[in-house]
Amino acid sequence: MKKRMSLISMLLIGTLMTAALTGCGKDASETNNRESINQVSLLQGLTFGDYNGSLSAKEVKALGDTGIGTFDGLNGELVMLDGVIYRAAGDGSVEAVPDTETIPFCDVTFFDNDKSQTLTDVQDIDALKGALDQKVNEFGSNRFYMVRIDGTFKEMNVRSELAQTKPYEPLAKVLETDQTFFDYTDIKGTVVGLYCPAYMDRLNAVGWHFHFVSDDRKYGGHMLNLKFDSTEAKWDYTDGFSMVLPENEMFNDFDLTVDQSDDIKRVETGDGE
Ligand SMILES: [Zn+2]
């Protein structure tokens, strides 16, 4: 296993207002609890620099057992797996966070292995997205999906970011200086991926967003690229989406009519320039 850290920066994102779009005539609480993507704040709030944690890790655990996000102060990438919330920190380390840790942005759900897909000879992230998109087209492109890919990865490229102090700068600016990159080879672990449909462009990043954590729980981050021979993707097919908005002045004063799509793209791809 090889590791590289280059200094250069980055990302990711309570009281409450719930906007729930649930479906299918199921009991609303059941739908929210099990079959819904539950999001804390919106990526566009994070992009503006609202890194104020709003929900505790304990509260987030009531919303799901699998997901992605970030921590208070933009202190690392959040990967939730099997009910445990991990921080992939800017220094490359990984830890399970205490229940008191707070979270400004995340998307979580209770993972059910509804469908499986065999993936072979995946050379890069675009090949992975292409293969997954075939299933999205088949299942329906206007829904939300959480995928979980357990396997051995010939290459795994991730990034994280250094914790920020107030006053918080916008995300794109933070990325220019405080993003950290880590490259691993022949590493066993799990990729957690979220698919958001096109109509989510004002609330999150459209398409796929992946985070990774290794089997030994020592390495992880926001996934920028990967390569692997063969493994299986497990799909959780969800029926609903719900959102919890933060209660803080910074969030309340944002002009969210401003189009931030370019910034979001840069944030997702790790291109801080
Ligand atoms: Zn991320």
Task: Judge if the upstream peptide bond of residue 104 is cis by omega within 30 degrees of 0.
Answer: no
Query: Which bin fits 268, alpha (ψ -120 to 50), beta or left (φ > 0)?
Result: alpha
Task: Judge if the upstream peptide bond of residue 167 is cis by omega within 30 degrees of 0.
Answer: yes
Q: Is residue 1 part of a domain?
A: no
HSE-up (13 A, CA, CB side) for residue 108: 32
For residue 11, how far is its CA from the centre of ligand 1 (angstroms)? Answer: 7
Average pLDDT, the chain: 87
Residue, of 19 and 202, whose pLDDT is higher: 202
Residue 3 pLDDT grade (very low, low, confident, very high; cuts 50, 70, 90)? very low
Helix (H) or strand (E) holding 5: none
Q: Is residue 236 part of a domain?
A: yes
Averaged pLDDT for residues 60-79:
97
How is residue 86 written in tokens?
């991990």
Closest C-alpha among 41, 32, 96, 37 to residue 67: 37
For residue 139, how far is its CA from the centre of ligand 1 (angstroms)? Answer: 24
**What's the pTM value of the predicted model, to 2 decimals?**
0.86
Looking at residue 160, which CATH number applies to its domain?
3.30.1330.80
What pLDDT, on a 0 to 100 scale, did the predictor assign at position 117?
98
The DSSP bridge partners found for residue 109 are 66
For 244, the domain range is 6-269
For residue 14, how far is its CA from the centre of ligand 1 (angstroms)? Answer: 19
For residue 78, how far is its CA from the centre of ligand 1 (angstroms)? Answer: 8
Q: Ligand 1 is a single-atom ion; what residues have CB below 5 A from it?
A: 12, 222
Tens of pLDDT, residue by residue over 139-189, are 999 999 999 999 999 999 999 999 999 999 999 999 899 999 999 999 999
Tens of pLDDT, residue by residue over 27-64, are 444 445 688 999 999 998 899 999 999 999 999 999 99
The tally of domains found in the chain comes to: 1
For residue 24, how far is its CA from the centre of ligand 1 (angstroms)? Answer: 30
Closest C-alpha among 254, 245, 191 to residue 220: 191
Strands 240-244 and 36-40: parallel
Could you give the CA distance from residue 209 to residue 226 in angstroms, rounded to a whole number? 13
What pLDDT, on a 0 to 100 scale, did the predictor assign at position 271?
63
Residue 9 has pLDDT above 70, yes or no: no
> Is residue 264 classed as helix, strand or coil in its secondary structure?
helix
For residue 212, how far is its CA from the centre of ligand 1 (angstroms)? Answer: 9
For residue 270, how far is its CA from the centre of ligand 1 (angstroms)? Answer: 9
155, with CB counted inside 10 A (0-12, 13-18, 19+), is middle
Tens of pLDDT, residue by residue over 128-142, are 999 999 999 999 999
What pLDDT, on a 0 to 100 scale, did the predictor assign at position 266?
77
